[in-house]
Structure 1
């Protein structure tokens, strides 16, 4: 009997020590550093389709299947946390049980993050949000929706919690993404009493359900969002703390409406002030989504429109959030589409800006770009008129044509009029654009198309490679925009619709791999040919201030 009692006491002691070792939510936010969203991937969805494989689901919005190398790249670039948005409704049966294959795939991606030593946040994403076309979210911020879906929602939360209850403190659960009322109202509900009551009911259900699964979930840090993840003072003020503990984090999202540096600073200062007065006095806070672009009420990409303002704002935001103990997760840019397959950054200077703002330096971090790889793109067109983006995306801001002359495309062979370049120009109304078409060469693998302003107007926002001959496979070797001065810049290749694209990349044999610095002055750092910083170089070849040196 004494031995049994001793064993029981030992087990209880170990459990107590394990729970006590979980860091507080405040410490977790601090230790995350700079975060990034693996967006449009596990959160992608299409209400008109039933998925046969998890890969079909994961790639339906044009992103490639996520590989561990992508998360390794983010870690080596200085990012300390990854938010993995996940949409569940298409992977649940009539009783609310999640498909085993989908849960397994979610676990694989979570492990990619955790295995690289980063924090990971998983959530319930496009099960919420605005309705459109065939899509209608099943989680609404209304008392009626909550009463109808309470059991199903808590059942989903329980399945997620049970799957991951043995993971340590670096895995966090998030309750829901941007939950709107029945009228799909952004920022604040139409019926504030009912909308805010529903949000707090969902948050309470989430926390209570997770805690009840036991194990590490009793003390896991949990994230709850404001109504629509809104950053308005009213939405912040009306989010209740769902439990009295030091393991709850509040989340809001913030997208810009800058005009210039002064306006950007004012907007960021106002955001920080509201967070401090409405949320931060009750629990730590993360800005779970922010970016240099906005899609509502107007489509503006400041990185493309005014990069100087965009990078200034990102630098200032990161400095101010760190200063006030607020976490940040950039929404999905920096590495997008086929760049994730390499993996590489298509906005390396943006990634560098965030990391430098937080740590004061980017020394020792790596930022591979497309220039570091030899790349070909294998394209599978499923339908006639399917399109592959060579530039832009469906929510891209228009770019002034005065800065560009055309586009050059290099294929693996001549395709003739089986494929054509389609350029989207000025928007006429709704989704109606001025459009220019040009077939690929029927005698050469290389085709150059000059932009025709008499057709397009003064702007263009997208260039695609379109099939007009039904299902087709093709290989794209290179696509470059031709600027007004005759120089070229790489296009950004992503699937538009009706096709899949796979980037096959091989690192160029350039000695040092993927080090790009914002600094213009030499910093004297020494690197080996693998791109690793060396404090005390021995015999061999090294890089210092962009030049090779031989140490004898």
Structure 2
């Protein structure tokens, strides 16, 4: 999203941020597991996503500063709250700008790179998917921007771009596939309209440089999923005959089956803008539940939205390339129409449901601002929920569940916390488990879907099962797992502990094996056998 639109209602601060803990001790990341998730598995596992917008891409006079656009310093408590609300993916937009040194090395300021890693670890340490990108460096409206596709000296632009991504990729080379890199954000010539050449050719070249550079740094980077956008992350200019070309992926790991991809396509969706982003009180309703035609846009309704995502499916998903709608949302216009939040929720629900239908993951744009024309879902200072209705709409559309009343004291522990509610016994035969194992060499990934087939709600659960001999869990998500081998107990996270009759939740883990990659056996929910 454009820098001005993202700042809705946020005032610039005069002073740049003095980073807390400028000399940050780098934490050890999870071992390289190189899980071989297929495209459908990845999209399903990413679940609902959320943007930490207007923070690490914020800047003041060309220097990135996470408080420059009015937000407080990012905390672990905030990320815990986002996870507890049901989100499984966090996109972290990042600017580098004046924190890049001079050529030919273009060294990134170490304090800034350390802070980036620290914020990534807030989410990565919780088992969430994390998307990081190069966000503000390509906006002509931002002081210090340089990734400009129609700049005269493209040799320098491309050399700088390559060096920056090389450093970022090297820093995170040991992180597992829960970290996804996105090459750039909303890159175009700044003029809205049909794409121009050779500007689009340069964007394609940036994407190719990004893929080649990341792959060559090795580690998990040789196989992790990489996101690439087309012109301004616009759907029509990406699927249409306007010049977008997919990068080749010649340096990827040989462990990736030749029939599978490791590239995703990044797009954004804010149609119709008069409802989602135009800062007035004119268009405040959207969708089939709208009651006032004068307050409803004449275009961009649910059928149009569905058609746009279908284009992405037919062009990319059908060929094995998953799609990531990395930004969407609608600003708060309740000052003009008290019912506006209902339509904002309808919009989010419809977008996420259509994306799920067409093989795409999503991330809601949150700029941290609550109030007139803000996108905020959370109060970042207090780490509390401000728009539970919109969150519920998102989580329900992706097939999950979120607590109707958020917890009041978010934990700052980096591990998932079991539900505080004592488990409710479930009668035998009242649960169903499906297990999808994807194995390679000495590693595997298993995605487990647990369904409550009983007539009563389960409030808090443990799922026990037995791993095949020689298997050891190395990382898990959406539950805590102990011990790592043999007879394992998975305990619900805070956000998925309640399973109404017929409801499901998906958890998973990575494991090593010594030749036996069989699925686990003997599933029991709260002591009762599952089908």
TM-score range (shorter-chain normalised) is 0.5 to 0.7
Partner of 2:399: 359
Q: In 1, are the aligned partners of 2:395 and 2:401 still within 8 Å (CA)? A: yes
Q: TM (normalized to structure 2)? A: 0.60
Partner of 1:33: 47
Q: CA RMSD in A?
A: 3.3
Q: Which one of 377, 385, 388 corresponds to residue 348 of structure 1?
A: 388
Gaps of 5+ in 2: 1-30, 250-259, 276-284, 289-299, 371-375, 410-419, 422-455, 462-493, 500-531
Output the CA distance in 1 between the equivalents of 2:182 and 2:159. 18
| Larger strand share, 1 or 2 | 1
Partner of 2:117: 107
1:92-117 deviations in Å (ceiling 9; x for gaps): 12232111111110000010011111
Output the CA distance in 1 between the equivalents of 2:268 and 2:309. 12
Output the CA distance in 2 between the equivalents of 1:138 and 1:531. 41
1:258-305 deviations in Å (ceiling 9; x for gaps): 5631452123112212212333334110100000239xxxx9999967
Alignment of 1:1-400 (within 5 A): 21-47=35-61, 57-95=65-103, 96-131=106-141, 135=143, 137-142=145-150, 144-181=152-189, 184-186=190-192, 188-189=194-195, 191=196, 193-233=197-237, 237=241, 238-244=243-249, 246-257=261-272, 258=275, 260-262=286-288, 263-282=300-319, 283-293=321-331, 306-332=340-366, 339-359=379-399, 361-362=401-402, 367-368=406-407
Output the CA distance in 1 between the equivalents of 2:48 and 2:352. 8
SS class of match (2:271): coil
SS class of match (1:261): coil
| Larger helix share, 1 or 2 | 1
Q: 1:157 to 1:273 in 2, by over 3 A?
A: same
1:445-466 deviations in Å (ceiling 9; x for gaps): xxxxxxxxxxxxxxxxxxxxxx
Partner of 1:481: none
Output the CA distance in 2 between the equivalents of 1:353 and 1:247. 30
1:88 shift after superposition:
0.3
Output the CA distance in 1 between the equivalents of 2:368 and 2:397. 16
Gaps of 5+ in 1: 1-16, 52-56, 374-510, 513-522, 536-552
1:186 shift after superposition:
3.2
Q: In 1, are the aligned partners of 2:53 and 2:368 still within 8 Å (CA)? A: no
Q: In 1, are the aligned partners of 2:239 and 2:315 still within 8 Å (CA)? A: no
SS class of match (1:349): helix
1:174-196 deviations in Å (ceiling 9; x for gaps): 10111122xx123642x2x3122
Q: Report the structure number with the largest CA radius of gyration.
A: 1
1:319 shift after superposition:
1.3
Output the CA distance in 2 between the equivalents of 1:18 and 1:175. 21
SS class of match (2:379): helix
1:411-449 deviations in Å (ceiling 9; x for gaps): xxxxxxxxxxxxxxxxxxxxxxxxxxxxxxxxxxxxxxx
Partner of 1:434: none
Q: In 1, are the aligned partners of 2:140 and 2:148 still within 8 Å (CA)? A: no
Output the CA distance in 1 between the equivalents of 2:400 and 2:61. 45
Q: 1:304 to 1:158 in 2, by over 3 A?
A: farther
1:532 shift after superposition:
9.3
Partner of 1:466: none
SS class of match (2:204): helix
